[in-house]
Structure 1
Amino acid sequence: MKMNHYYADLEESYLFSTIAKKVEDYQTGHPDSKIIRMGIGDVTLPLPEVVVSAFQAAVLEQGTKAGFHGYGPEQGYAFLREAVRNYYMSYGVELEMEDIFISDGAKSDVGNILDLFDRDNQVLIPDPVYPVYRDTNLMAGREIVYLDANMENGFLPLPDRRQRADLIYLCSPNNPTGAVYNRAQLQDWVDYAREQEAVILFDAAYEAFVSDPALPRSIYEIEGARECAVEFCSLSKTAGFTGTRCGYTVVPHELNRGGFSLRKLWLRRQTTKFNGVSYPVQKAAAAVFSLEGLAACRAHIDVYRKNAGTIVETLNNLGIWHVGGVNSPYIWMKCPRGMDSWAFFDDLLERANVVGTPGAGFGKNGEGFFRLTAFNTNANTEEAMQRLWEIYA
């Protein structure tokens, strides 16, 4: 029997599992400590009432003979795909219904899309990076080329035309750095991908946090992107679906490589390996895109935006370099006093009882940096920043 030996190239533990274990050990030794968690990007506000009502109604339907739904379409029910299509149209992007695939979250599809591509493709990934991009390709044994994101380029690297690439990962607003590409920068990436005949895998999980109309929320706002990009979106941060699980992936019909339509291949893959998202979850997701649902989600996002503003203000007053926190729920800060990422993690946990994410966990260029998230209550965020001020001022 032969095992997939490429798994040996992975870190023994997933980054956030390591953090959870360190926090658990600290809490066990200090049971009276009030730990404020600003590490993992999990939301803290409950589902909007209109979403819960739709969820409950759909569950009750499942208990009736007339309303029962068994296997649904793997691509997603038409009512939800139409709602997603209308959502895109609200900011000027027109999609075909057949381009939209409902999923159980962006993380799953970001990994599963790799089924369509040969192992010999060369992958271009910015560093620092969301670990899933890196690890799913390591699992398959692909060659990865890392692109330097750093303070000099504002953690928004642009293509180097001397570098060959077949698959390109981009995330904007970025996880972990919170940096956001403008239209000209994304146009450069799209032009590069078309020159290379590469495919951009564009993670737009945080598009709902973009409030500046000058910044793109979708790669498809960029000319030529339909011919070279797949877009992954999520309701996790938009509507609090981290525990409910629903997202969507867009594969335009214009995207073809090696004589294959990627949309047709993805449909074939999904119909073979995926039985779709449950009917009640899809009804709840459709409610997100109603006028009432969108208003409720915007109100929740405003809470997180206020938290981001509190963090940014504190870091500004402390004179700590950072990026993100505007048009993004993440703040990427330089570790104070020259500490490395894990040393700052330990110091912040022990002296302030605040949890963040060490930048080194996102790649070598993350060393010396640290990620804080805005996903907490306003009161907890204010208290955490007060503790930070008292220690590092």
Structure 2
Amino acid sequence: MKKYSFLLSLFILLIACKKHSTTIALIPKNKFETKIGTKQVSLYNLKNQKGMTCQITNFGARVVSLWVKDKNDIFTDIVLGYDSIEDYQKPGANYIGATIGRYANRIAAGKFTLNDSTYILAKNNGENHAHGGVKGFNNVVWDANQLSESELQLTYFSPDGEEGYPGNLTVSLLYSLSEANELKISYTATCDQETPINLTHHSFFNLNGAGAGEITDHLLSMPATKYIPITEDALPTGEILPVLNTPFDFTATKTIGKHIGANSEQLVFGHGYDHCFVLEATGVKLAAKLEAPSGICMEVYTSEPGIQLYTGNFLNGAIHIGKGAKHYERRTALCLEAQHYPNSPNQANFPSTILKPGTTYQSTTNYKFGNK
């Protein structure tokens, strides 16, 4: 009898573990159902056939939660986020999980010259323009159309003069979950007047789980042999320098924390890593590999020429209180933002970011997940 009792207990335990591994604590949609201005805000659930699940709100085209399996076959939410639309409207939530535009990263002095005309942009980063301005694409309501259980299309019309940018711009964004456990992000855009455009995705990742301590133990590798140094104001100097023999060399896998405290002026200027790495390959190519002690692995593929590594240097647990009342402290998440180089409209030696009428902006970034 004892033998059968033990087997029954073991069977019940296995069933409980299996149930736990497939349990995902989704945020209720009613926490996001509201109107901002005249537009309806909602929360959308995407799921693939393997159970990978992503929640997205059309406010800022933001990823709110992203559930993938760890090495113990347990679903884990690996992105920072908030439990309600009200929390996303607070200043501290500006970029968490959002789509950034019209121009990701910084534009020096909040201005640029195009076709002999100088355009003055909103200044929201000291004397500079950052991540699209005071009301960038992260703080507007996108039109949403859920195409299937695993696909969500979002569109936004940015009028001429918004945040100082020239021309009317229409942006379409497709989020999809593939059966290869990829979060795929595809952007297209058209305009009626020449304008700079540089879109990126700004999820804060912690592959041990959102709010589960520092990401300095994550292993990172990037094929980039060059990076873009910055000034004390986090603006690019205009140089493109080799990573060899610097703390910025991730061509061989190492922990993020290995050199983050090194005696480096660049790390002082960035308060850690906050730099764009140059991707020299063309087409959609591997930009980064990330792995955590949880066993969760992430690969980033993109058509963009650069990827910004940001190690959550300005997260502050007193301000950033996220899902489940977790305090998001400094360096408890990181961003890998596929994009063009910062301040490109003012740097003739950087690849152009100017979109012309009659042409279509196209960009792809895929975050692929697995576990070990």
- When normalised by structure 1's length, the TM-score is 0.22
Q: Which has the higher contact order (CA 8 A, sep 6+)?
A: 1
Q: Which has the higher helix share?
A: 1
Q: Normalising by structure 2, report the TM-score.
A: 0.23
Structure with greater strand share of residues: 2
